[in-house]
Amino acid sequence: MNEIRNTATNLMDKQLGRNPVSETYGQPVQDPSGATMKAVVFDGSRNVKIDEVPKPTITHPKDVIVKTTACTICSGSDSHMFSGEIPGRNKGSVLGHESCGIVVERGSEVKDLFVGERVVIAFDIACGSCSFCKRREFTGCDTTNDTKLMDVNYGAHHSAIFGYTKMLGDVPGCQAEYIRVPFGDVNCYKLPEDIPDIKGLYMSDVLCTSLHACELGSVQKGNTVAIWGMGPIGLFAGRWAQILGAKRVIGIEVIPDRIKIARNRFGFEVIDRNEVKDIPKKILELIPDGPDVAIDATGFRFTTTMLQKIERAVGLETDSADVIFECFQSVRKYGHVALIADYVGTSNQFPVGHIMMKHLTVRSGQCPCQNYFDRVVKAIRSGEIDPEWMITNKVKFDDLPDAYEKLFYKQDGYLKVFCQM
């Protein structure tokens, strides 16, 4: 099924071609010297490997080239890629969207970045000057993702994202020795000297995205917040909720190691799905009106009911609505639901009536990291946020393929890795 979807996506992409922006923006080109570098590449469903690929070079005057000093694997989104379930990923394409490094080359129109500066790179790629970027809606950037495929599927296109699929711009990722960052001034954030790589790296996604989850859910002082999924995103969404003044954070998770971390390191109340079958019933026993905010930090792949398992298996839907149902069923009337988890396609049994009958506000979307960098740095400096709470494994670059497997199959306690180059 995945192979068929992938082939169909590739064919459609070829037929539809590119939006006109590609003429000015340009696709990546190889360093003229013919130099190569090591990178983690997609090698088909549930396979990644280290390979020699062309070293990138400046393609557009607003590009910078960053030499990677540290990178990591996104436990959620890179696992979706690894699964092979997201169509439009060619074998050999470079993965990764969480890294930091040193600027080694700058295009002629780059204003604020200079060779030798340390930067963290936002996972989303924005131009800074289209109408969406001007409103700071960076993940809606109209310039950086030039595929027409997304316009056909969604009626508009998302910004590009590093190391993702054709639908998200097909831009080479950062699990590599070097990365070309389009619109460097917009998408790189200068790391202050007192923020080492082991902390700053995680600003590229997790620390900003988890704060975005709380913003989408409008978490307020005194709120009760329930979060499905105690992966890196769910854990830090809970931590931000505490910082924003939530009086109770309740996590829902199935993996014992993660339940332990959520309870002991983050101090959340956690419902263990291995022990509790009916999650909304349990939540409503704990909070009779229901939590003020429900955050879904799981993902489109996770099912709990036989119906959704079957529908996904036979291709009747791409995305499970199981966790969404539990969020809607549990949250209080007039409550807020934040879908920070990745959803990509269509879902049957989506409980649309709950939104009307319980007067819910439901928000979702990819995080515009650029909006959160300053707040995250402040919280790291004050010690309120410590990304090291989630690092379970320090790995060498050559061990990244193995770490992909561990994260995908949720083995050996892997939660978040740190790879210093």
Ligand X SMILES: NC(=O)c1ccc[n+]([C@@H]2O[C@H](COP(=O)([O-])OP(=O)(O)OC[C@H]3O[C@@H](n4cnc5c(N)ncnc54)[C@H](O)[C@@H]3O)[C@@H](O)[C@H]2O)c1
**List of residues contacting ligand X (CB under 6 A):** 74-77, 79-80, 205, 209, 228-234, 252-255, 258, 273, 297-299, 302, 304, 323, 340-342, 366-367
Q: Least Å distance between CB 388 and ligand X?
A: 16
- Tally the C-alpha atoms within 13 A of residue 20's C-alpha that lie toward its C-beta: 0
Q: Which of 48, 65, 70, 74 binds Zn ion (CB under 5 A)?
A: 74
Taking CB within 5 to 8 Å according to partner kind, which of Zn ion, ligand X, none is near residue 133? Zn ion
Q: Is 77 in the site for Zn ion (CB under 5 A)?
A: yes
Q: Least Å distance between CB 168 and Zn ion?
A: 12
Q: Least Å distance between CB 68 and ligand X?
A: 19
Nearest residue (CB) to ligand X, 318 versus 366: 366
Q: Is 95 in the site for Zn ion (CB under 5 A)?
A: no
Binding span for Zn ion by CB under 5 A among 127-135, 259-267, 283-291, 294-302: 127-135
Q: Is 86 in the site for Zn ion (CB under 5 A)?
A: no
Q: Least Å distance between CB 135 and ligand X?
A: 18
Q: Is 141 in the site for Zn ion (CB under 5 A)?
A: yes
Calculate the CA dihedral of residues 297, 190, 375, 69 and round it to 10 degrees: 40
Q: Least Å distance between CB 30 and ligand X?
A: 30
Q: Which of 37, 58, 64, 127 binds Zn ion (CB under 5 A)?
A: 127
Show the tokens assigned to 134.
Answer: 């001007």
Q: Least Å distance between CB 384 and Zn ion?
A: 22
Q: Is 210 in the site for Zn ion (CB under 5 A)?
A: no
Taking CB within 5 to 8 Å according to partner kind, which of Zn ion, ligand X, none is near residue 130? Zn ion
Taking CB within 5 to 8 Å according to partner kind, which of ligand X, Zn ion, none is near residue 367? ligand X
Q: Least Å distance between CB 407 and ligand X?
A: 7
Nearest residue (CB) to ligand X, 56 versus 163: 163
Nearest residue (CB) to ligand X, 358 versus 363: 363
Q: Least Å distance between CB 416 and ligand X?
A: 8
Q: Which of 72, 79, 93, 143 binds Zn ion (CB under 5 A)?
A: 143
CA 221 and chain centroid, separation? 26
Q: Which of 64, 110, 130, 246 binds Zn ion (CB under 5 A)?
A: 130
Q: How far apart are CA 123 and CA 404, in angstroms?
A: 18
Q: Least Å distance between CB 35 and ligand X?
A: 32
Binding span for Zn ion by CB under 5 A among 198-206, 219-227, 262-270, 343-351: 198-206
Q: Least Å distance between CB 193 and ligand X?
A: 27
Dihedral sign computed on CA atoms, order 263, 366, 154, 180: negative
Residue count, binding to Zn ion (CB under 5 A): 9
Q: How far apart are CA 299 and CA 287, in angstroms?
A: 25
Q: Are 182 and 144 in contact (CB under 8 A)?
A: yes
Taking CB within 5 to 8 Å according to partner kind, which of ligand X, Zn ion, none is near residue 234? ligand X
Which residues in 252-264 are b (16+ Cβ under 10 Å) and which e? bbbbebbbebbbe
Show the tokens assigned to 6.
Answer: 């992938």
Q: Is 177 in the site for Zn ion (CB under 5 A)?
A: no
Instruction: Find residue 64's DSSP bridge partners.
Output: 106, 181
Taking CB within 5 to 8 Å according to partner kind, which of ligand X, Zn ion, none is near residue 96? none
Q: Are 232 and 206 in contact (CB under 8 A)?
A: yes
Taking CB within 5 to 8 Å according to partner kind, which of ligand X, Zn ion, none is near residue 231? ligand X
Residue nearest to ligand X (CB): 231
Residues that bind Zn ion (CB under 5 A): 74, 77, 126-127, 130, 133, 141, 143, 205
